[in-house]
Amino acid sequence: MLFLTLPALAQEVDLELVLLADASGSIDQEEIEFQRQGYATAITHPDVLYAISSTLTGTIAVTYVEWAANQVVVVDWAVIDGPEAAQDFAARLLIPPRLATGRNAIGAALLEGKRLIEDNQITSLRQVIDFSSDSVGNFSGPRIADARAEVLAAGITINGLPILRDGRAQDLALAYEAMIIGGPGAFVVAATSRDTFAAAVRRKLVLEIAGTPKGMDLAQADQS
């Protein structure tokens, strides 16, 4: 009798979400740890867990990647289907050392997010790259416009979390709108200070998981 080995079935979730976090030279070690803690706090928050449970499948898949001149997966793809899975993801996020170094390579980071979505064994209704940084400088690798166009052509939405530091805050948010975000329902939610970072991440995750209309007013998103 002939036995055939069939390929494993891909897991189906509502959303595949790549969290692309800035680890370039302008982000010091304390800020690396602060960002990771902010995402760990957000992914385990009741509002985020409720948003996940309210999706069609009750699940999302998420990976956390730090980027600079290179890109490093801090936590590989994990399916979040409730508090236990969220707590496990959060705990693993706080362990690895910093491995991404150098100046900004935003185009390369966006393309790495696309690759991670396309190369996993997960199928989903929606695919989103959640990009954060404190500037839109691009010092090596592909041009932002070219990388962005390639990501959007693949049907992947890019949302933005600008980290606002000084009087140029509004300029950075507008630059994100013009240069970074795109795709169905794309939006920007700004982190205006260290004190509001975790809350901004939480709002952004809730909006991404639930979906939000393209062109949402930034102030409206910030108050959600």
Model confidence pLDDT, tens digit, residues 64-81:
999 999 999 999 999 999
Residue 215's pLDDT is 39
Residue 30's pLDDT is 87
Residue 9's pLDDT is 46
Q: Global pTM?
A: 0.88
Residue 224's pLDDT is 39
Residue 156's pLDDT is 97
Q: What are phi and psi of 12, to 5 degrees?
A: -105, 130
Residue 185's pLDDT is 87
Residue 164's pLDDT is 75
In this prediction, the residues of the chain whose per-residue pLDDT falls under 50 are: 1-9, 213-224
Residue 102's pLDDT is 85
pLDDT in tens, 131-159: 998 888 888 889 999 999 999 999 999 99
Residue 31's pLDDT is 86
